[in-house]
Amino acid sequence: MAAASKRKPRGPLTRERVLKAAVSLVDKGGANALTMRALGQKLGVEAMSLYNHVAGKEDILDGIVDLAVGEIDLPAPREHWKKAMRRRAISAREMFRRHPWAIGLMESRRNPGPASMRYYDAVIGSLREGGFSIAMAAHAFSLLDSYIYGFALQEAKLPFEGEADLAELAQDILRQMPARQFPHFTEMITGHALKPGYSYAAEFEFGLDLILDALERKRDKN
């Protein structure tokens, strides 16, 4: 018996504890790090005992996605739709930064949990109360989520973190490329990305506001 499996679990084993431990595993190692054996070792139990609380890996994936979705801010009652969509979009991006693995899993699960259903229903309800037809609400939901997921995926793949890393990367690129051959790219780096206080996160909110303004105009025309 492995040493890890000899440890007594801290408190009674529950589905919630199993799922939270699974989130911790995938936060560190990605979805491929999640195995029943690894999860059992993390909890200090035999892998087979996990089946008293979860049906298997697919059930765990459904569960951890639901936990992640539960971290996203929901529209508040009677909150203006535009404010609600902006707040929930920023909250979703922050969740994806904490849990990058959720980007690929969130929309792929066939069994959405209660937190996911509350999330979807609240977003649709906010748009409908904001004057969107059901078709326009569907268009808006799809457009906003495509933008959120796309930005989160791109951000997760960027080779820098924070202003200092970006500045170092930009300087490396500038040293390697002739400015005369790529004048527009050089201008973008020196005149924008290397400006004091520049944050790539600000690009998200700029694009988000453009989308929300466009949706508002489209709603008003309809």
pLDDT digits (tens, 9 = 90+) for 78-97: 999 999 999 999 999 999 99
Residue 54 pLDDT > 50? yes
Residue 5 pLDDT > 80? no
Long-range contacts of 170-173 (CB under 8 A, 24+ apart): 170/194
- Amino acid 160 reads F
CA distances from 135 to 7, 60, 142, 208 (A): 54, 33, 11, 20
Total Cβ atoms within 10 A of residue 119: 23
Residue 134 pLDDT > 90? yes
Interatomic CA distance for residues 106 and 113, integer angstroms? 11
CA distances from 38 to 31, 50, 56, 79, 142 (A): 12, 11, 13, 43, 36
**Confidence at residue 207, expressed as pLDDT on a 0 to 100 scale:** 97
* pLDDT 10s digits, 150-208: 999 998 887 677 667 777 877 888 888 888 888 998 888 888 878 877 777 789 999 99
**Confidence at residue 171, expressed as pLDDT on a 0 to 100 scale:** 80
pTM over the 0.95 mark? no
H-assigned helices in 57-161: 57-69, 81-98, 102-105, 114-129, 134-157
Long-range contacts of 175-180 (CB under 8 A, 24+ apart): none
The alpha carbons of the chain give a radius of gyration, in whole angstroms, of 22
Residue 11 pLDDT > 80? no
Residue 8 pLDDT > 70? no
Under DSSP, is residue 85 helix (H, G, I), strand (E, B) or coil? helix
CB 138 within 8 A of CB 132: no
